[in-house]
Copies of this chain bind each other. A is one copy, B any other.
């Protein structure tokens, strides 16, 4: 049925809001059902389990992030701006997702291997994006990159390093200035003098 798939999407959207607010464990099927104005049991007609819903939600969120990122880097021309806006959008989105992280890193090591899969896939995609930005920057003689592969990897590592303190501490210092500082450092090492 075409409508079944439609309703699955609705479930993903609605439960996504709740998951993002309360995390996996604290979100109950009853809450999801109530938000959808259906009986709790009915959810199981569309999804096999709470985890399957969560998986769909995360997958969906990851796709949204990817779209935001590609749109963002397309929205500007200069390589410096591309890099800058990429980093900013990425961090903003991750901030929004902090509750998923809470959920994932709680205690459930067995389950949630699917998160690892998604993560791996998006790490690869991110690397490609970064390399593209670097490549174009080098072409335009703005960046000075000898090996875009490794440079992209280095940048990705930096971004990942940012994630942890971003999520586990609460608004210690404002993110913007921190990102700007990092970008400054990054550019001074990269930009042709």
Contacts and interface: CB of A to CB of B under 8 A. Distances in A.
Interface of A: 17, 22, 26, 170
A17 B170 CA distance: 10
A132 B26 CA distance: 45
Copies of this chain assembled into the complex: 2
A166 B12 CA distance: 24
A170 B17 CA distance: 10
Contacts of A22: 22, 26
Nearest to A17: B170
A14 B170 CA distance: 12
A10 to B, nearest CB: 16
A17 B171 CA distance: 13
A22 B99 CA distance: 11
A17 B169 CA distance: 12
Of the listed residues A17, A22, A26, A170, the one surrounded by the most CB atoms of chain B closer than 10 A to its CB is: A26
Nearest to A31: B26
Contact of A26 (B17, B26, B170): B26
Contacts of A17: 170
